[in-house]
Structure 1
Amino acid sequence: MLPTSRALMVQGTTSDAGKSVLVAGLGRLLARRGIHVAPFKSQNMALNSAVTADGGEIGRAQAFQAFACGVEPTVHMNPILLKPNSDCGAQIIVQGKAAESMNAIGFQSYKKFAMTPVMESFSILQKQFDCVLIEGAGSPAEVNLRENDIANMGFAEEADVPVIIVADIDRGGVFAHLIGTLDCLSQSERDRVIGFVINRFRGDISLLEPGLEWLEEKTGKPVIGVVPYLQGLMLDAEDAIDVSQTQSTEGDVLNIVVPVVPRISNHTDFDALRIHPQVNLQFAAPGKPLPPCDLIILPGSKSVISDLTSIRNYGWDHQIAKHLRYGGKVMGICGGYQMLGNRIEDPHGIEGTMLKTDGLGYLDTHTVIEREKVLTRTVGTLTLGGERAKVTGYEIHMGVTSSKGQTLITSENGQDGLINTDQNVLGTYWHGVFDSPEACSLLLAWAGLGEVKEISLEAERERSINALADALEASLDMSKLWASNF
């Protein structure tokens, strides 16, 4: 049986309350029951993005939620994506395509026009799927952002969908968060809230039950469930970086450091390294010295010239040079690849106010930031050290790079990447190169790891989403979400 409502919206008391995870887990639960379900987030702000099959760009979290639902991601699952390129400005992606850059005040005015593509995309999904699971953004209690709201209750009212509110008890003050959020809503908005979910609970639930009874009596809303604190799951991050260092105890180990630049993008590139049993992965905080390691990976960036300036300001350029002198390896992905070259130019000022700069000079490349964004998903062959491996990946970049030397990847779209003559510095535009088990093993061997074990990130994601769905099935009262017993 289908849910009586063909849509359900998950809003949160705060950012990172568990909205993305809850939508992914519920999506897998419904998919298990044969329900054709899709995720939807009208407005997302994130530098982790994904490419759809038709060449559009959406938030990475929505692509992962689509994976949980067992469906192909489309641009309509995230019609408005904001990619910050400064503290006050962002590139606006509308239904998968870059529209323009705006500051925060400009976007507030733009929102009254953005509801049209948002509702158009939502209507398309409703026609294609049995049920749509909607994720809010931030919190509906942000009263300063209520005008022309397309992300939370503004959308819920326009689309006329029921809402549940999730709160993170691990942060503390969970009852104040829920009561306070509800009090910030209008009467019609409160009426469409059908209940609460408390997330990340540790301990004996009997100690929480008096508070749950008080909350239900105080608000007249049911507590749909209390979700335990789940650890050891590999779920794609929407934006925040888990800076905890992975520690391996298995024999031969490779130490990898990723410098965190201010506008780092698609740090999910390193998820496969995070779970690899022979890799110690560490993110270096801005301004902190780079720890000793075997491999330094410069990540993607939304503002390449600005982030390269930060690398120099932190002194990381000198530390990278020393690392290479002592026999280390360096790799760059997308923006990091551009930084390793000779020159970067941004003649149109697309990514910032600095229009050109010298690169770090380790690869013979010259990059020009163009107006048209490259968005592709593809499959190819990685060639390194005389060995070959199948590789899958995706490209998201404004830069066009000309290069001289030995390329890395051959695909139906041509050639990509470069390795220097000393074979100790390489770069590629392809995000996700470590996700392919064969390519990951080949890259780790190049970096100095012997007897590399092959791991599957996809299998780990599958295990994690099933464990999440199992936990939600055990902890949520599904009859309070949907009247039908499916």
Structure 2
Amino acid sequence: MVLGTSSNAGKSWVATALCAWYRAQGYQVAPFKAQNMSNNARVVATPDGQWGEIGTAQYLQALAAGCVPDVRMNPLLLKPEADTRSQVVLLGQVDAALSAMPWRGRSQHVWPQIAQALDSLRAENDVVVIEGAGSPAEINLHSSDVVNMRVARHGQAHCLLVADIDRGGAFAHLYGTWALLPPEEQALLRGFVLNKFRGDARLLAPAPQMLQERTGVPTVATIPMQWNHGLPEEDGVFDARSTGAGAIHTTVAIVAYPRMSNHDEFQPLLNLPGVRVVWARSPAQLQGADWVILPGSKATAADLDWMRRQGLDAAVVAHAHAGRRVLGICGGLQMLGEALIDLHGVDGNAAGLGLLPLVTLFAPDKTVRRVRVHLPALHGPWSSLAGMTLDVYEIHHGQTQLRTDMEAGQPQRSREVVPGLVWQNGPGHIWGTYWHGMLENTAFVQALFGAQAPSLEVVFARLAEGVQAWFAQEA
């Protein structure tokens, strides 16, 4: 089990690397995280043959492990809709009753499913790599814990505790976390990991030895800072240094509204040579962009309101009117239209940006599916994509319709490229779609940018090699 002294310590990344390493050693391995709070989700199969959602981190860990992702690997997913409200997804499906329940009241209802999911994965695999959440020493949450030490105790897991040494205070974080755990949980800690280290590792002495003398726990790995490692940041920590290398020929501005979802699907852009990615939160950051992308949103109406308060709505419209590319995905597609209509209290009502003659009606039931699609003929700057086969997925409450009566006087009419899923404006430079994951198809990226990012298999191989080196140094 990989625990952390805090969020962003590197739990997801280290767990992914361990999945890749165990796979490389010939083990049958699977990932597990009891509860994930993230608006980055992927579509996977459920035991009854339906589609469900899990956190992106566990989806990628399953790929690193060489196994098929399924809902047991992240049985509880919390998708924040506001600062004090989340949509609860249990074993892949939205659970309205749990979503309405107070946080502390959920644990007794979800623990049996969590334990069963973990036990079944343990029965089927040689190794299960478990990821914790936040810190195991959040003593205000210990009594209702279903993701950290309760899981560790249930599985009698061998636990690693990871600290982000780049932030400073790592040894205090490690010691304080250990000290706040009861003795039976301290006994499960088998090693400390110092992550994101920059400098000469010899300068760490004598701290690791002193820490071991106080806790009985050795420091088993010191992992150097990893820029451009190729995996998306789980919690949306954006860093310009992750932009692809080489002379910049294309700038892509992604509007980073507060409830942005599935931003992990843009990681291939950050890995591309010559492509500069800007996470835009102000109109100035859209200036000079070749592309503007409106990503998915877990609260489309609220994020549209935020855009208007920043002046980003006018900046996006100006960019589109200048004939530059605009891509709206899922919630971003809905924003491109004329209106959002919510009769069921799902998201909220709002006027759209008016760049496509679309009206979206929010439905109580969520569409969740993974599909293989064949692109029909496209026009404008997207024409090179015609005939391409893509693996994509959908996660949305909205149902969108084309309303050609709303664009009277336009010389070139917008069109529905794929019924209910893909639309383009008349000139063709504005494209809206419910399809997530297009940029993770190498042929799609090659056609649009003339280059390819390293494949996930290459990324996983590098991680496995890294584990071999980082842990061996401390052995």
Taking structure 2 as the reference length, what is the TM-score of the superposition? 0.90
Q: Could you tell me how far apart the structure 2 residues matched to 1:424 and 1:230 are?
A: 36
2:2 aligned to 5, 10, 14, which one?
A: 10
Q: Could you tell me how far apart the structure 1 residues matched to 2:269 and 2:190 are?
A: 41
SS in 2 for 1:212: helix
Amino acid corresponding to residue 339 of structure 2 in structure 1: R
TM-superposed CA distance for 1:269, in Å, is: 2.1
Query: Contact between 2:221 and 2:474, CA under 8 Å: does it hold in 1?
Result: no
Q: Could you tell me how far apart the structure 2 residues matched to 1:53 and 1:370 are?
A: 22
Corresponding residue for residue 184 of structure 1: 180
Corresponding residue for residue 407 of structure 1: 416
Corresponding residue for residue 453 of structure 1: 450
Asked if residue 422 in structure 1 is aligned to residue 427 in structure 2, the reply is: yes
Corresponding residue for residue 465 of structure 2: 470
Change (3 A) 1:247 1:40: closer
- Equivalences for 1:119-198 in 2 at 5 Å? 119-198=115-194
Asked if residue 36 in structure 1 is aligned to residue 41 in structure 2, the reply is: no
1:375 aligned to 360, 365, 368, which one?
A: 368
Corresponding residue for residue 431 of structure 1: 436
2:16 aligned to 2, 20, 24, which one?
A: 24
TM-superposed CA distance for 1:286, in Å, is: 5.6
Asked if residue 366 in structure 1 is aligned to residue 359 in structure 2, the reply is: yes
Segment of structure 1 superposing worse, 57-66 or 237-246: 237-246
- Equivalences for 1:73-472 in 2 at 5 Å? 73-100=69-96, 106-244=102-240, 246=243, 249-250=246-247, 253-285=249-281, 290-351=286-347, 355-382=348-375, 383-385=377-379, 386-387=383-384, 388=386, 389-403=388-402, 405-409=414-418, 416-442=421-447, 444=448, 452-455=449-452, 457=453, 459-472=454-467
Q: What per-residue deviation string (whole Å, max 9, x for no partner) do you get for residues 35-62 of structure 1?
A: 0000000000011111113411000000
Corresponding residue for residue 3 of structure 1: none
SS in 1 for 2:415: coil
Q: Could you tell me how far apart the structure 1 residues matched to 2:373 and 2:80 are?
A: 31
Q: Could you tell me how far apart the structure 2 residues matched to 1:435 and 1:341 are?
A: 25
Amino acid corresponding to residue 406 of structure 1 in structure 2: R
SS in 2 for 1:84: strand
Q: Could you tell me how far apart the structure 1 residues matched to 2:433 and 2:209 are?
A: 55
Segment of structure 1 superposing worse, 56-65 or 384-393: 384-393
TM-superposed CA distance for 1:381, in Å, is: 1.9
Q: Could you tell me how far apart the structure 2 residues matched to 1:439 and 1:293 are?
A: 20
Taking structure 1 as the reference length, what is the TM-score of the superposition? 0.88
TM-superposed CA distance for 1:96, in Å, is: 0.5
TM-superposed CA distance for 1:257, in Å, is: 0.6
Corresponding residue for residue 5 of structure 1: none
Segment of structure 1 superposing worse, 264-273 or 91-100: 264-273
TM-superposed CA distance for 1:34, in Å, is: 1.2
Q: Could you tell me how far apart the structure 1 residues matched to 2:41 and 2:368 are?
A: 11
Q: Could you tell me how far apart the structure 1 residues matched to 2:246 and 2:194 are?
A: 35
TM-superposed CA distance for 1:277, in Å, is: 2.1
Segment of structure 1 superposing worse, 376-385 or 51-60: 376-385
Q: What per-residue deviation string (whole Å, max 9, x for no partner) do you get for residues 267-326 of structure 1?
A: 122112222223221111267653321211111000011111111111111112222232
Q: What per-residue deviation string (whole Å, max 9, x for no partner) do you get for residues 186-208 of structure 1?
A: 11111111221111222222211
Query: Contact between 1:12 and 1:18, CA under 8 Å: does it hold in 2?
Result: yes
Change (3 A) 1:126 1:468: same
Gaps of 5+ in 1: 1-8, 445-451, 481-486
Corresponding residue for residue 406 of structure 2: none
Q: What per-residue deviation string (whole Å, max 9, x for no partner) do you get for residues 317-361 of structure 1?
A: 11122222323221100000011112112222123xxx3122111
Q: Could you tell me how far apart the structure 1 residues matched to 2:195 and 2:474 are?
A: 19
Q: Could you tell me how far apart the structure 2 residues matched to 1:344 and 1:441 are?
A: 34
TM-superposed CA distance for 1:175, in Å, is: 0.8
SS in 2 for 1:29: helix
Q: Could you tell me how far apart the structure 2 residues matched to 1:407 and 1:441 are?
A: 25
Q: Could you tell me how far apart the structure 2 residues matched to 1:184 and 1:142 are?
A: 9
Query: Contact between 1:438 and 1:454, CA under 8 Å: does it hold in 2?
Result: no
Q: What per-residue deviation string (whole Å, max 9, x for no partner) do you get for residues 146-169 of structure 1?
A: 112001112212333232211111
Query: Contact between 1:408 and 1:428, CA under 8 Å: does it hold in 2?
Result: no
Q: Could you tell me how far apart the structure 1 residues matched to 2:213 and 2:62 are?
A: 36
Percent identical residues: 36
Segment of structure 1 superposing worse, 180-189 or 103-112: 103-112
Query: Contact between 1:308 and 1:339, CA under 8 Å: does it hold in 2?
Result: yes
Change (3 A) 1:478 1:374: farther
Segment of structure 1 superposing worse, 313-322 or 158-167: 158-167
Corresponding residue for residue 483 of structure 1: none
Amino acid corresponding to residue 257 of structure 1 in structure 2: A
Query: Contact between 1:201 and 1:228, CA under 8 Å: does it hold in 2?
Result: yes
TM-superposed CA distance for 1:79, in Å, is: 0.3
TM-superposed CA distance for 1:228, in Å, is: 1.7
Q: Could you tell me how far apart the structure 1 residues matched to 2:245 and 2:225 are?
A: 24
Amino acid corresponding to residue 155 of structure 2 in structure 1: A
TM-superposed CA distance for 1:135, in Å, is: 0.3
TM-superposed CA distance for 1:100, in Å, is: 2.2
Amino acid corresponding to residue 384 of structure 1 in structure 2: L
Amino acid corresponding to residue 124 of structure 1 in structure 2: S
> What is the number of equivalent residue pairs in this alignment?
454
Q: Could you tell me how far apart the structure 2 residues matched to 1:131 and 1:298 are?
A: 40
